A and B are shown apart, each in its own frame.
Chain A
Amino acid sequence: MKLALLGVGNAGVRLVDELRGAEQRTQTPISDGNVLAFNTTPSTFAELEHIDESRQVLIGDTHPEVYQPEAVGEEGEIDKVDTESVDPREGVAGDPELGAAVAREDLPEIRRALDAVDDTEVDAAMIVAGLGGGTGCGVGSVLLEELVSIYEIPVYVLGVLPSADESDQRAWCAARAIRTFVPMADAVLGVDNEAWHTDESYNAVNKAVATRIISLFGAGEREGLPLSELRMDPNDINRTLDVGGVSTIGYAKTELSIEPDGWLQKLRGLFGGETTEPEPQTDATTIKKLVERAVDSKLTLPCDISTVDRVLLILSGPPRELSRKGFETGRSLLEDKTGTVEILAGDEPDTEATTVTATVLLSNVTGVPRIEQLQQRAVAYQTDAESTPAVTHEIDSNVEVDTEGAVEANEEADNGREADAESNPEAAETSDDSDAAVDEHGFRFTDKETVKPTELIDEAEPTTDEPPVDDSTDSSDAETPELSENEPTDDSDSTKPSEDADDSDADPNIKDPFAGGSATSDPSQ
């Protein structure tokens, strides 16, 4: 499918640059040039190789609080990201509130830039951002808000989570970005730097992510490929991601040995001799194992795969290598492993390929330990920051005056306000555990209806137009009606003429037929 790629912040624009490079390398056009790079500092623009200057948009360069360095990227190492190569004071200095403020101020600029993207030519838009950065998180939030309001197409976020050795501020920023992006975006695809960068450079992380994004979204986009039997259409991907939440990608490949007598074959072909189709190097078992490896592989964002909501599988390789049995048992295995039945699977035949790859999209995973860790760090950082007036300039809230400046007092006040819903977090935990399906994955529900977020920061934020809580609650509520698409209707039982259709006890449980049920008002039915 076609994607408009919108990079935000240092990490985001670098990753989009990498994606563009991968598009060209693999000859898989997914963006068709619908690309933009937004940043609050020009530092990283200089190192971009695949994004035209006309597509680079500098935001907030006139804002008094945005720091612009005199000279750009003189000593910065190109293959390192963010905190390592860029002066931390640059741009919005990691402050997402400032990022958001700056983006709002420059909204006309952003809108003008968006004119260069043709949203009717693409199947979805994807914001690519490092969630730990002030620009990625802050500008990203405002951009997301804008895109969701102007585009009919789905808007996804490819968000990179900071690793453990990055600052607490970045963890805090990322946790808030997740809180902001997930309810607004149609889906957030997560990338965990922690899982990926330890043994590999950031550049390698970007490459790995690009490979996965291209394999997934680029399936069937390459020119000249044979027609697939079960093509994954853009709507298959969109439907898989439609449930929202956080998603992750798994990927595995099997190298095929290049036939040693390949040239001989070709030569024989030239002289009109018979060329024989090379023997398949894989079988049902290899293909099944490949699918299994993909889902067991290091996911872009590690998670408990049993918490996944929907799944999409793409098997790509030379048609002769794609065993039907392997494909089907692989798909069936995914159902067993994930516990969901919403699995779409397709093939991408590529006669010239030297590998067979399996790419698995796990949509709406809710068991993500990494996000919990970030949230814990973020809360600790925020609590700290609140007690240190020098860092938190926004604390002088007009509401909770009595608790200002004192950590304990603050926490008490928070708990006090939530007391009507839950006396303490443990109580909430236990009551939720008894609730349903989720508890085994270590989930804690926070009752969103009754527990209002503390507004220590946003309360005094001048650039936020609306109360933040209402905003997010609204957007998630608005999605709920769509989820009832499978509402059972019950007027079918009387209309079954064949015994086969009604001899099963199970039958009455199956919902109404698609047509001729309550949905049609046609009297002839």
Chain B
Amino acid sequence: MKLATIGVGNAGSKLIDRMLEFEQQTGRDLCRHVLVINTARTDLAKPKYVPKDRRVLIGDTHQKAKGHGVGGDGEVGAEVAKNDIDEIRRVFDDVEIHEVDAILVAAGLGGGTGSGAGPVVIDELQKMYDEPIYGLGVLPGEYEGGRPALNAARSLQSFVTKVDNFVAFDNDAWRSRGQTVEEGYEEMNRELATRIVTLLAAGEVDGSEVGENAMDSSDIMRTLDTGGVSSIGYASTDLKKSDGLLSKYKSKNKDEEVNSMDAAKIKGLVRRAVNSRLTIPCEVSSADRALIVFAGPSSMISRKGIESAREWLEKEADTVEVLAGDDPREDSETLAAVVLLSNVTDAPRIKEIQNQAVDAQNKIAELDAVREEEITSLITDDNNELDPIV
């Protein structure tokens, strides 16, 4: 697939940057157009792979933003993006849309810019282009608190109604002990970038050879055509000889043979992909359609293996709409299986976020209601005998 990628806000921009990094490291060519949009000037300095002229600051003339972010407020994020919509449209003018199959908009839904400006950007894209627009959204973890949950719950509605498919990523599922703040976000972004690029780059003639069971862009787009929320599973196995400590550590199947991989192992890989951490944990059987991409040397991927994996997933996902194919990467030292579960309708985390959001919204409303009164009460003595000076 050829993609135009747009990152909105801090999380979205970093995610796009990691996608570019992974793409370059693995010799893929997925992102034909790149753009990052932010309300904070400092955050625009962070990407390493996004060209300087593809970084757009919005809201620098907005009274509340001024290039210093929107204070985590999605309302302001949306307002700023609407005000600068001409600016955004102007940068899209450079995107030669006939060169791409789809547009991907990545954003963190807990922050103000991603949650607010993201949907506005998507609205504009929908007006300008016929190509499908996919959302890639990072949902805040429970520990990030009520305000991010509220942003996310509201923004999720906007995203899901506006995009052709929304790939969700749950921060909580990827939290691990011992990470620093820096590592935590780095690792998550890398994991997500690996999944999304491995999936969407399949079927792209970017120097890779066309396999006999090759996955085609149109297959992926058809699977995503359901709308709704999707989840991605991933597993990979190291193909290098397990003689070094490192490869022993990396590869779970130590006794794996190097030169062949039987059907059972292929199926095992897919099973691992589905049962390991999905980008958003969900009931697999609630998926509407599903798709498996195997990325690695074509010699490693047998047709029989693909078929048995497909059949297994058909049962697991309880749908007959399951496609499977390969994305030959002859130089690759790993064999990876990516599983796309499209339009999963049973994702508990989303409900949790919504509940947290409703609580947050009520608390905010309560505070709003008494705010002026309480301040007045604080600054005034009991009988209001003390006057202001001016």
Q: Which residues of A contact B (CB under 8 A)?
A: 1, 96-97, 99-100, 123, 137-138, 141-142, 144-145, 152, 172, 175-180, 182-184, 220, 227, 229-231, 233-236, 238-240, 242-246, 280, 283-284, 307, 309, 315, 319-325, 327-329, 331-332, 335, 339-344, 347, 349, 364, 366, 368, 371, 375-376, 378-379, 382-383, 414-415, 418, 425, 428, 436-438, 443-446, 448, 451-458, 464, 468-469, 471-472, 476, 479-480, 483-486, 492, 495-501, 503-504, 506-507, 509-517, 519-520, 522, 524-525
Contacting pair A446 B384 (CB below 8 A): yes
Minimum CB distance partner of B45 in chain A: A227
Contacting pair A500 B364 (CB below 8 A): no
Residues of B within 8 A of A323 (CB): 178-181
Q: Which residues of B contact A (CB under 8 A)?
A: 10, 40, 42-43, 45-46, 63-66, 68-75, 77-78, 81-82, 115-116, 119-120, 122-123, 126-127, 141-147, 149-150, 153-158, 160-162, 166, 175, 177-185, 227-229, 343-345, 347, 350-351, 354-355, 357-361, 363-390
Q: A379-B381, A415-B383, A486-B365 are in contact. List 11 more A-B contacts (CB 8 A).
A: A145-B390, A183-B379, A229-B181, A231-B10, A245-B374, A246-B378, A332-B144, A445-B376, A496-B157, A514-B77, A514-B115
Minimum CB distance partner of B119 in chain A: A515
Report the minimum CB–CB distance from B332 to chain A (whole Å).
30
Q: Give complex CA distance A231, B46 in Å.
A: 11
Residues of A within 8 A of B81 (CB): 515
Report the minimum CB–CB distance from A233 to chain B (whole Å).
3
| A341/B72 contact (C-beta < 8 A), A375-B381, A524-B126 known | no
Contacting pair B145 A331 (CB below 8 A): yes
Residues of A within 8 A of B141 (CB): 328
Residues of B within 8 A of A495 (CB): 161
Contacting pair B390 A141 (CB below 8 A): yes
| A123/B347 contact (C-beta < 8 A), A457-B387, A486-B368 known | no
Residues of A within 8 A of B142 (CB): 332
Minimum CB distance partner of A344 in chain B: B72
Contacting pair A446 B157 (CB below 8 A): no
Contacting pair A322 B181 (CB below 8 A): yes
Q: Give complex CA distance A459, B378 in Å.
A: 24
Q: Give complex CA distance A286, B384 in Å.
A: 46
Contacting pair A500 B179 (CB below 8 A): no
Contacting pair B71 A516 (CB below 8 A): no
Report the minimum CB–CB distance from A485 to chain B (whole Å).
6
| A342/B116 contact (C-beta < 8 A), A235-B69, A504-B351 known | no
Contacting pair B183 A233 (CB below 8 A): no
Q: Give complex CA distance A409, B358 in Å.
A: 53
A-B contact pairs, 8 of them (CB 8 A): A100-B390, A152-B63, A231-B10, A235-B68, A236-B69, A444-B382, A509-B361, A514-B158
Q: Give complex CA distance A240, B379 in Å.
A: 20
Contacting pair B143 A332 (CB below 8 A): yes
Contacting pair B123 A327 (CB below 8 A): no
Contacting pair A327 B181 (CB below 8 A): yes
| A340/B363 contact (C-beta < 8 A), A322-B182, A498-B228, A498-B345 known | yes
Task: Tell me whether chain B's interface is mostly helix, strand or loop, or mixed.
Answer: helix
The answer, among B122, B143, B175, B386, for a CB contact under 8 Å with A331, is B143
Q: Give complex CA distance A329, B177 in Å.
A: 11
The answer, among B77, B115, B160, B183, for a CB contact under 8 Å with A498, is B160
Residues of A within 8 A of B361 (CB): 486, 509-511
Report the minimum CB–CB distance from B18 to chain A (whole Å).
13
Q: Give complex CA distance A182, B378 in Å.
A: 10
Q: Give complex CA distance A415, B74 in Å.
A: 47
Contacting pair A446 B383 (CB below 8 A): yes
Contacting pair B374 A443 (CB below 8 A): yes
Residues of A within 8 A of B228 (CB): 497-500
Residues of B within 8 A of A328 (CB): 141, 143-144, 175
Q: Give complex CA distance A368, B379 in Å.
A: 10
Q: Give complex CA distance A320, B181 in Å.
A: 8
Q: Give complex CA distance A525, B10 in Å.
A: 27
